[in-house]
Structure 1
């Protein structure tokens, strides 16, 4: 199993993007690319080659589930685990997102000091993906 190194994340809120970037790159030592929309992420994802996808659920135009579907339709990302970030962490919503193919649903607000470790744990639990 390879170690988690590259994470692609999408959130339409610039403050959250900045926080995720610091949490994963500065605190967590990961290589990250952040995007403000699903469209941007899909256009640049294959060039970056992420091992794990971290997606906001509620975004204008292309929401998290649509973004996940579009990213996973790319051959190189078909097996990349997807994790959703949402403020609405209640049973039915979590079940819906997991049913769409997410491996985990994390709540907002999240702890920037532990986010990278949480993603590494998820990466290990999912067998480190089969891509990479």
Structure 2
């Protein structure tokens, strides 16, 4: 069975580390990390992950602009994207769903539940 690959794009070192450990241990995923939008876009192209966990508040490009760039690139538009954000409102959730974003996971997340939330959002089994 192929091990699924997830790219975590977040500018906070501790969030990347906790997400990586959680997804690797709890779900057996192969996790790649990026500390900025541009690094994430580049890694999405070269690594071809099955999904991207994308922070909304990033210093270089915000998550929605990053998502638009991923969607407009033929090499990355097929990759499922889940947003990671501290600020989420119902209107945002509807807008994100209309854009094609798979799900939104709120920060702070519980490390013990992150893998389960991601697997559920992507309709993946362990």
TM-score range, shorter chain: 0.7 to 0.9
Q: Which runs of 5+ in 2 are unaligned?
A: none
**Matched ranges for 1:1-132 at <5 A:** 5-124=4-123
**Structure 1 length normalisation: TM-score?**
0.83
**How much does 1:50 deviate?**
0.5
The number of residue pairs the alignment matches comes to 125
Distance in 1 (CA, whole Å) between partners of 2:39 and 2:112 is 27
Which portions of structure 1, spanning 4 or more consecutive aligned residues, are displaced by more than 6 angstroms?
none
CA separation of 1:55 and 1:40: change in aligned 2, threshold 3 A: same
Q: Which runs of 5+ in 1 are unaligned?
A: none
Q: Which has the higher contact order (CA 8 A, sep 6+)?
A: 1
**Structure 2 length normalisation: TM-score?**
0.87
CA RMSD of aligned residues (A): 2.1
**How much does 1:96 deviate?**
2.7
Deviations 1:10-61 (A, max 9, x none): 1111111111111111332100111111100111222211111110111112
